[in-house]
Chain A
Amino acid sequence: MNGTQFWSLAVSAIFVQNLVLIYFLWDGSFYEAIKKPRTGLAYGLLVTAATTVTSIFCWLLNRFVLRPFSLTFLAPAAFVVIIVLLAAAVRFIVKLASPNHMEGILKILPTSAFGCAVLGLVLINVQMNTRGFFGTAFYGFCAGIGYLAAIFLVMSALERVRFSSPPSVFKGLPIALVTASLISLGLMGFSGIVIPY
Chain B
Amino acid sequence: MNKTKKSKIQSLEGMKIKNSVRRLVSENPVFVRAVVIVPVLGAASSLKSGILISACMILTVLLLNLAMYPLSKVVPKRFINITAFLTAGIVVTPVCMLANYIAPAVAPLCGIYLPLLSVCALPMIEKRYYGAKYGIFKTAFYALFDGAGFAVAAVIFAVIREVIGNGTLYDRPLPGFSKFKFSFALAPAGAFLLLGFICAMFRKIFGMKEDNGEGMK
A binds B: yes
Chain A interfacial positions (CB closer than 8 Å to B)? 21-28, 31, 73-77, 79-81, 83-84, 87-88, 110, 114-116, 119-120, 123-124, 127, 167-178, 180-182, 184-185, 188
- Given known contacts A81-B89, A84-B86, A31 and B199 CB-to-CB distance under 8 angstroms: no
B116 close to A120 (CB less than 8 A): yes
B215 close to A172 (CB less than 8 A): yes
B residues near A80, Cβ cutoff 8 Å: 85-86, 88-90, 118
A170 close to B119 (CB less than 8 A): no
A181 close to B193 (CB less than 8 A): yes
Q: Is B112 an interface residue (CB 8 A)?
A: yes
A172 close to B188 (CB less than 8 A): no
Stretch from B3-11, B37-45, B46-54 that touches the partner? B37-45
- Given known contacts A81-B86, A172-B216, A25 and B189 CB-to-CB distance under 8 angstroms: no
B residues near A84, Cβ cutoff 8 Å: 82, 85-86
B residues near A119, Cβ cutoff 8 Å: 115-116, 118-119
B residues near A173, Cβ cutoff 8 Å: 34, 196, 199, 213, 216-217
Give the tally of cross-chain contacts (CB within 8 A): 143
Alpha-carbon separation in the docked complex, A173 to B123 (Å): 17
Chain B interfacial positions (CB closer than 8 Å to A)? 34-35, 37-38, 41-42, 81-82, 85-86, 88-90, 92-93, 96-97, 111-112, 115-116, 118-120, 122-123, 187-193, 195-197, 199-201, 203-204, 210-217
Alpha-carbon separation in the docked complex, A110 to B189 (Å): 29
Alpha-carbon separation in the docked complex, A196 to B89 (Å): 33
**Contact check: which of A81, A167, A178 meets B192 at CB < 8 Å?**
A178
**Contact check: which of B42, B188, B200, B211 meets A170 at CB < 8 Å?**
B200
Enumerate the 8 nearest inter-chain pairs by beta-carbon distance, A residue then B residue, closest first. Answer: A172-B213, A80-B89, A171-B213, A177-B196, A181-B192, A172-B216, A76-B115, A173-B216
Closest to A75 in B: B115
B215 close to A184 (CB less than 8 A): no
B189 close to A188 (CB less than 8 A): yes
Alpha-carbon separation in the docked complex, A22 to B90 (Å): 27
B residues near A115, Cβ cutoff 8 Å: 119
> Can you spell out 20 A-B residue pairs with CB atoms less than 8 angstroms apart?
A24-B37, A26-B37, A73-B97, A74-B93, A88-B82, A110-B81, A114-B85, A114-B122, A119-B115, A123-B115, A167-B200, A169-B204, A169-B210, A171-B216, A173-B34, A175-B196, A178-B197, A181-B190, A188-B188, A188-B189
Could you list 13 further interchain pairs (A-B, Cβ under 8 angstroms) beyond the known A84-B85, A184-B192?
A23-B42, A27-B119, A74-B93, A77-B90, A80-B86, A114-B119, A119-B115, A120-B112, A124-B112, A127-B112, A172-B213, A174-B216, A181-B190
Alpha-carbon separation in the docked complex, A27 to B30 (Å): 11
Alpha-carbon separation in the docked complex, A22 to B188 (Å): 6
B81 close to A116 (CB less than 8 A): no
Alpha-carbon separation in the docked complex, A73 to B111 (Å): 14
Question: How far, in Å, is B34 (CB) from chain A's closest CB?
Answer: 5
B188 close to A76 (CB less than 8 A): no
Alpha-carbon separation in the docked complex, A108 to B74 (Å): 25
- Given known contacts A77-B93, A80-B89, A114-B85, A31 and B192 CB-to-CB distance under 8 angstroms: no
A175 close to B213 (CB less than 8 A): yes
**Contact check: which of A27, A83, A167 meets B38 at CB < 8 Å?**
A27
- Given known contacts A24-B38, A80-B86, A170 and B196 CB-to-CB distance under 8 angstroms: yes
B96 close to A76 (CB less than 8 A): yes
B89 close to A116 (CB less than 8 A): no
A residues near B122, Cβ cutoff 8 Å: 114
B residues near A88, Cβ cutoff 8 Å: 82
A residues near B93, Cβ cutoff 8 Å: 73-74, 76-77
Question: How far, in Å, is B176 (CB) from chain A's closest CB?
Answer: 26
A177 close to B192 (CB less than 8 A): yes
